[in-house]
Amino acid sequence: AQSVTQLDSQVPVFEEAPVELRCNYSSSVSVYLFWYVQYPNQGLQLLLKYLSGSTLVKGINGFEAEFNKSQTSFHLRKPSVHISDTAEYFCAVIEAAGNKLTFGGGTRVLVKP
């Protein structure tokens, strides 16, 4: 069965600074990977996804993530954050032939002025 570990539960960052959120997964088969964002008092929305092809994927709001198969990682980055990026971010994985989406524990990003 797959599992997901988000290594940082909270990440404080100053406005216009870069941010990286770390995600590692475990699975014995091929997987698809996702990052979701949850703004305060809202549901989750998809930021980006990796299904196949280029290992660098770009998402909405200037975020990007890189799939590293050898390190089983899918870290999320943004070169310059805004106050509006304050949210909780979830990494998720699904096995290529599976139905179950497994989420990491989440990383809270607090952007400070």
Rounded Cα–Cα distance for residues 105 and 113 (Å): 26
Q: Which is nearer to other proteins, 85 or 104 (CB)?
A: 104
100 contacts 88 by C-beta, under 8 angstroms: no
Q: Which is nearer to other proteins, 15 or 101 (CB)?
A: 101
Which segments of the chain does DSSP mark as H helices, in order?
none
* Closest of 24, 103, 109 to residue 65, by C-alpha: 24
Range 11-50, binding other proteins (CB under 8 A): 32, 34, 41-46, 49
The one among 51, 56, 60, 83 contacting other proteins by CB under 8 A: 51
Residues within the interface to other proteins (CB under 8 A): 4, 6, 9, 32, 34, 41-46, 49, 51, 90, 92, 94, 96, 99-106
